[in-house]
Amino acid sequence: METLALLLCALLFGGMVLYAFGFAAFVFTALPPDVASPTIRRAFPYFYLFVLGVSALAALCLFSGDLVSASIMAAVALSTIPTRQVLMPAINKATDEGSKGRFKILHGLSVLITLAHIAAAAYVLARFV
């Protein structure tokens, strides 16, 4: 189980970093804005499902051996639910309504949450050493 937990945490860390700093940035530089925005909007629900699923599986795998790491991964999974179900729709609504100030605040919050999730996965990975 420890090896599976390590692989899941590595997958989570790498997937989040690739998506946040690679895919999203690439889409906005490679596609025109009127195509990039809807593409990102369609992709984010799957990103959050990935984070939720992988972090929950990692938490389960870690439960019997490292309660601290299991708790951290469980917190990532649980905090992803309101991020996906409440924050993401609010960001989309702010965009649709042209509320740039509200969008900046909400988007900034989503970025902070993602960075916290990345840091949490990195911390759990470092605990394997």
> pLDDT digit of tens for each residue in the chain (129 aa)?
899 999 999 999 999 999 999 999 999 999 999 999 999 999 999 999 999 999 999 999 999 999 999 999 999 999 999 999 999 999 999 999 999 999 999 999 999 999 999 999 999 999 998
Report CA-CA distances (Å) from 124 to 9, 10, 30, 56, 63. Answer: 7, 9, 34, 13, 13
Report CA-CA distances (Å) from 60 to 2, 28, 54, 76, 84. Answer: 11, 36, 10, 13, 21
* Residue of 22, 16, 126, 25 lying closest to 77 (CA atoms): 16
pLDDT, residue 129, reads: 87
Neighbours of 13 (CB within 10 A): 20
pLDDT, residue 34, reads: 92
Q: Is the CB of residue 1 less than 8 Å from the CB of residue 65?
A: yes
pLDDT, residue 39, reads: 95
Burial of 58 (0-12, 13-18, 19+ CB in 10 A): buried
pLDDT, residue 121, reads: 98
pTM across the whole model: 0.94
